[in-house]
Amino acid sequence: SLKENYLHTSQWVMINNLMSLEHNMGLKRHGRLKVQRIKRGWVWNQFFILEEYMGSEPQYVGKLHTDMDHGDSAVKYTLSGEGAGSIFTIDEITGDIHALVGLDREEKSYYTLKAQAVDIQTGVPLEPESEFIIKVQDINDNEPRFPDGPYSASVPEMSPTGTYVTQVTATDADDPTYGNSARIIYSILHGQPYFSVDPKSGVIRTALANMDREVKEEYQVLLQAKDMGGQLGGLASTTTINITLSDVNDNPPRFAKSIFHLRVPESASVGSAVGRIRAHDLDAGSNAEMDYAIVPGDEGNLFDIISNGQSQEGVIVLKKTLDYESKKSYTFKVEASNTQLDTRFLHLGPFKDSATVRVNVLDIEEPPVFTKPSYSMDVYEDTPPGTIIGSVTAHDLDATSSAIRYSLEWHMESDSCFDIDTIEGTISTNEFLDRETAVKHNVTVVATKVTNPLLFTKVPVTVNVMDVNEFPPELAVPADTFVCENSRVGQVIQMVSAMDKDFPPVGQRFFFKSPKHLRNRNFTIRDFGNNTAGIVTRHSDFQRRMQDVYILPIVVEDSGYPAQSSTATLTIRVCSCEPGGSLLSCSAEAIFLPVGLSTGALMAIMLCVALLIALYMSQRRHKVKETLMTSKEDIRDNVIHYNDEGGGEADTQAFDMGTLRNTHSHIIATVNKNAPLLSSRGKVTEGDAEMIREFIEHRLGDSQQSYVATTYDSLATYAYEGDGSVAGSLSSIEESWVIDDSGDFSSLGDWGQPFKTLASILDRQPPTLSKES
């Protein structure tokens, strides 16, 4: 019986190698408490129980028993652990274990419990607590399942027998280690004789060779999975596999007809579509892609064919213009071929086909045609009106050969500058053209058929107005620049450039030079290219004491014909600079003498400086430019200082000493270029001295009235002092003016406006000046 089978398989009774329970017997021997070791009499490992029990009574699991149980109901059995009391129950007296509910192995395959045998009276354990397992035994209660079904697969058409298609796998929740409940066998219920399946692995392969996609593309296979090794009574399930035959290039393209008739008007433009042809290919996708080509021939060179990859059509386009009067039809062959070939099927024949195309040209009355797509004409500016500058020509290509009439299409007012002969097509000027106003004119000429005025053609004509070299270049030069006293020989002190209003502004070549009749000993002009030049020093001994301003004429000439040139003047000031070239000062500065100079000598120098400032300011006020000497350099301001000290006659190299031989006054001579005072003998006469004195007084009066009097004269200063000098003292106030030791210089203001400024500089406390000063 089933109960006996479980009792047989659960040999749990008493194994001697397990631990024994120590039991206190309470016996006293010779007055001592004796402890007796009791040998364990029972042990069990596991029980088995069938899943899915459907009986009305609780299912018997097994029995617990100990050797200490003599059947007198003195032993009590207890049960604890997983499911104790809820799933499993035990008879406390007999030790019988029952399952109260049906179990499912797929939910839980085993339970772990603990058993204990105790004395029913005292509750003292008779054996150590033991652990055992109740294992749920599997029955075939789960059919195989396809977790990913239904399935889809593909295999190339024309595949040989046994070609792998796909593999499917079914799962069974039953115990694979016990019996055949989870042993699955696969079989095809529907889909033969095209496909087969391996009964153990579930691999599906082709069973029929050369299946053609063009005949049948999709197949549906019904696959069964059965457990119990496919035996009778096993559980089974099915799934569907949709198998598609993928395409291979096993069909060549074919034209539906052998000749295609197309028509095109002779007025069709180059690149326009003439017509479409198509070859059919039973294949799909890239295997059906075709290339179309025109078979080389004399009549096919006017056309081209373009392959449309989406529609698989060949579009015939026009490569050259057609003329019905010259040729009325064209015949050529077109070939269609697959772009991708499969070498396995080349034996099926050539994968291309050809057809004949006949193109008929339709006669169309066309407008006139110009000999050129556009015209360009050149004319010089200021050309007299009525001058013919060019012509246009159009023809009627039709058989009627109509006469042509020409006209101008006006878009703007400037188009009225031209006229056209309506019969000859010659274009002439209506007025003078100015390149500076418009460099070019865009004119539209219209050619119209006399027999059909609705047919006309337009052509653009560009009239380029060429430049006449009428403008001289203009020098882009600053008003003035400076040169450092410590400049080196060959140093570039200023860059200059030029511009020209003539055409073209880009590409002009300018040349920079000095005037031919002048040779400047101080500066030269060096051409650096790119229409720029540099002002370069020719020596290094520039001194403001000797000359503080230079005038440099610069000539710039263009490369046109005839050449045009202009002259500009650059003012160069001599300035004091730092060793690195940084500008310090360009104004007149006081030259401080050694500390050992007497107070009178220092005052004389300061008076001289003040006088120079006054003369310079008065000269700036006048617009009439005066110069000391006539020079090729066109010098505007030339200040020469002779600041020698001691016996003046000892210096005989700088100037003619006879000039100083005037004992009546101390001469500061300023000579106007329009009234030269020095005679050719180099000596000053009595009359000359009187003229010089009057001129100085006139200039002093101008300088006292305004500080901004402009001076364009040349001032020569002879500053000799001492007993040995014929000129005597430089002071214009003679010996009568004595400096007060108190340091009060306010009395200098009696000599005029410039000396008031000098007094305010020398005085420690600036004097109170009048509103006029």
Q: What is the pLDDT of residues 30-81, one digit of tens each?
A: 333 334 444 444 546 678 888 777 878 888 888 888 878 888 888 888 898 8
Encoded amino acid at 290, one letter: M
Structure tokens given for 714 = 């040349």
Mean of pLDDT values over 9-18: 32
Q: Yes or no: say if 96 and 63 are a contact pair by the CB < 8 Å rule.
A: yes
- Superfamily of structural domain 151-246: Cadherins (2.60.40.60)
- pLDDT tens profile 654-707: 444 444 444 443 333 333 433 343 333 444 455 556 777 777 777 776 666 554
Whether the Cβ atoms of residue 262 and residue 274 lie closer than 8 Å to each other: yes
State whether residue 613 is helix, strand or coil. helix
pLDDT of residue 305: 93
Domain with CATH 2.60.40.60 in the chain: 46-137, 151-246, 254-362, 369-466, 474-585
pLDDT at residue 91 in the model:
86
Q: How far apart are CA 205 and CA 210, in angstroms?
A: 13
So what's the pLDDT on residue 39? Answer: 47
Sort strands 668-671 and 474-476 into parallel, antiparallel or unpaired.
unpaired
Does the pLDDT at position 768 exceed 70?
A: no
Cβ-based neighbours of 30, under 8 Å, separated by 6 or more: none
What residues have CB less than 8 Å from 705, skipping those under 6 apart?
753
Burial annotation 739-752 (CB, 10 A radius, 16+ → b, else e): eeeeeebbebbebb
Least confident of 331-335, 385-389, 493-497, 657-661: 657-661
Name the CATH code of domain 254-362 (choices 1.10.1240.10, 3.40.50.720, 3.40.50.300, 2.60.40.60). 2.60.40.60
Fold of 46-137: Immunoglobulin-like (2.60.40)
Domain 474-585: CATH superfamily is Cadherins (2.60.40.60)
Is 717 or 465 the better-scoring residue by pLDDT?
A: 465
Q: Please tell me the distance from the alpha carbon of residue 664 to that of residue 407, in angstroms, as a whole number.
A: 94
The confidence score (pLDDT) of residue 48 equals 83
For the ranges 326-335, 609-618, 625-634, the maximum mean pLDDT occurs at: 326-335
Which of 281-285, 415-419, 711-715 shows the lowest mean pLDDT across its residues? 711-715
- Sign of the alpha-carbon torsion through 691, 694, 700, 705: negative
**For range 475-485, the mean pLDDT:** 83
Q: CATH number of the domain at 369-466, please?
A: 2.60.40.60
- Residue-level pLDDT at 468: 78
Average pLDDT, the chain: 76
Q: Where are the beta strands (DSSP E) in 170-282?
A: 185-190, 195-197, 203-206, 218-226, 236-246, 254-255, 259-265, 273-280
